[in-house]
A and B are shown apart, each in its own frame.
Chain A
């Protein structure tokens, strides 16, 4: 894998030289970034990311609160999926990715040299845009994470409690042997959430978890997110502003304009963001004038 990771803002001569000639380097980060109250889960500072020579995130910095729901919104190509995938090092899997800046999780540098991405991903679970259950039984889907992580305990109980937390138990308890692929789209997505919960993570990242689902299934997932937020930190990418307004405590608005790709425009408590946006572009976007 050809990944080059710098865990802190570049200070050495070489790194400065690398940044020269990139207009994005002169970009001034937005001032409309709120500091959330209470405990912080993720602290992101001056984060730049390139896919090959193409910049995807420019000087993004924000703090994501613990045990709350934080929504990342913005039009397609604004870098919100890229940003969420930085939080559990899923971007590592893409060849040619360069990351600069820092992402720390409860004071531990996620991109530190002694950090193992497998350990990061075990603690920080993820649910994807398209439900991706394994072509195995419902039971095996939920038990997989525990098995690969060397779980010593009652797997039956773990499967039951995880499915219950994901509000899927009552629908599947009689056919745990059935293939995960036989479920409906909404059930599959809840199965993927149960699968993530079985790992006993601290955080659940959701990358547009409802975009492939019908409105009723979407509502169920949204209810679930609110419920899970009492115990877990949840970060959700969505292109649905109503969804962000319904489920999240904090909202970050990202944008790509002619010059700067993947910039953070505004970050605020969701209510403030949707009633009194500080930036004109935020207001234009949430009032549906573009995007």
Chain B
């Protein structure tokens, strides 16, 4: 009752007392929250501009098309782009079927008991494990034990392990979004659990699974530590060969190349590193944009 009675039957509806205070706080909170958003953006923009000033002069067709070189002006990122693409393609091929399979099992088939809860909790924990740990695991298991060497195969398997927890979690979420009434409808028609999953749950969950996958790939695209750990080279002067044997070729990726250039003393290499960062950022932003588009497209239909 903040509206003061002025005369019989007439009220004023201006904010007074408690309402005025609450409204002032509400208006203030808007600016505080805007500030939080701007702070994050400003740092990113400054970094981006600073990087662009250093990197853009080096960014030309030769930079994209050349192999690395010990002369900064001739060095390029051809082999690291191809290496990145190759490793990421196989990362997706290895990780997605396993992630979706695990998510479907947990949501549709697993008994709801303490073991399942433990498994879920541990997958969430795995998503927080530093990538260098996955690198050590990859080195021990894929490079040494299975003797894949520091190859595209070992790199892709390591990155697949790294993005697996995140992809499982997003797939579980996506499967959860499918209405239970759809499952009931399908089962009531005499469909088996698998038929229900195949015809209704997976198509319904697909936008979420795709979005999660693309975001995970964007993360893998920028990964350095795990790949350095398994011994990815930085000086690769050939294209990965398009064969199964080519999977065992050594490789480099864009972030590794950038890292390598930044630790060199010559300023020309720093410029190359900045140019590499620009390419990498465009690729990652492109992937994120693709995730948005895919989600929108599939949601609409």
B residues neighboring A (CB under 8 Å): 111-113, 179, 181-182, 184-192, 195, 199-200, 203-204
Chain A 1-59 residues near chain B, CB threshold 8 A:
1-2
B190 to A199, Cβ gap below 8 A?
A: yes
**Chain B residue with Cβ nearest A130:** B181
CA distance A12 to B289 in the complex (A): 65
CA distance A122 to B189 in the complex (A): 6
Partner of A132, one of B113, B182, B190, B191: B182
Q: How far apart are B182's CB and chain A's nearest CB, in angstroms?
A: 6
**Chain B residue with Cβ nearest A122:** B190
A2 to B111, Cβ gap below 8 A?
A: yes
A93 to B187, Cβ gap below 8 A?
A: yes
Partner of A199, one of B184, B189, B204: B189
**Chain A residue with Cβ nearest B191:** A148
Q: How far apart are B299's CB and chain A's nearest CB, in angstroms?
A: 11
CA distance A133 to B191 in the complex (A): 15
Q: Quick one: given A2-B111, A132-B182, are A148 and B187 in contact (CB under 8 Å)?
A: no
A residues neighboring B (CB under 8 Å): 1-2, 88, 90, 93, 95, 118-119, 121-123, 125-126, 128, 130, 132-135, 144-145, 148-149, 192, 195-196, 199
Q: How far apart are B184's CB and chain A's nearest CB, in angstroms?
A: 6
**Chain B residue with Cβ nearest A127:** B188
CA distance A132 to B204 in the complex (A): 14
CA distance A149 to B195 in the complex (A): 10
**Chain B residue with Cβ nearest A179:** B301
Chain A residues near B191 (CB, 8 Å)? Answer: 118, 144-145, 148
A128 to B190, Cβ gap below 8 A?
A: no
Partner of A128, one of B184, B195, B203: B184
**Chain A residue with Cβ nearest B181:** A132
Chain B residues near A90 (CB, 8 Å)? Answer: 184, 187-188
Can you name 13 A-B residue pairings with CB atoms under 8 Å?
Answer: A2-B111, A90-B184, A90-B188, A118-B190, A121-B189, A121-B190, A125-B188, A128-B184, A128-B185, A133-B185, A148-B192, A195-B185, A195-B189
Q: Quick one: given A1-B111, A132-B179, A135-B204, are A145 and B184 in contact (CB under 8 Å)?
A: no
Chain A residues near B203 (CB, 8 Å)? Answer: 135
Chain A residues near B185 (CB, 8 Å)? Answer: 128, 132-134, 192, 195
Partner of B188, one of A1, A121, A135, A149: A121
CA distance A42 to B172 in the complex (A): 39
B182 to A145, Cβ gap below 8 A?
A: no
Instruction: Given A88-B188, A135-B203, A145-B190, output 6 extra A-B contacts at Cβ < 8 Å.
Output: A2-B113, A93-B187, A118-B192, A121-B187, A123-B190, A126-B188
Partner of A148, one of B179, B181, B195: B195
CA distance A133 to B186 in the complex (A): 10
List 6 A-B pairs, minimum CB-CB distance, nearest first: A122-B190, A145-B189, A132-B181, A126-B188, A148-B191, A132-B185
**Chain B residue with Cβ nearest A119:** B190
A134 to B188, Cβ gap below 8 A?
A: no
Partner of A144, one of B111, B181, B189: B189
CA distance A195 to B186 in the complex (A): 10
Chain A residues near B181 (CB, 8 Å)? Answer: 128, 130, 132
Chain B residues near A123 (CB, 8 Å)? Answer: 190
CA distance A192 to B184 in the complex (A): 12
Partner of B112, one of A95, A132, A134, A195: A95
CA distance A42 to B188 in the complex (A): 18
Chain B residues near A149 (CB, 8 Å)? Answer: 189-190
B192 to A134, Cβ gap below 8 A?
A: no
CA distance A133 to B181 in the complex (A): 9
Chain B residues near A145 (CB, 8 Å)? Answer: 189-191
CA distance A90 to B199 in the complex (A): 19
A132 to B192, Cβ gap below 8 A?
A: no
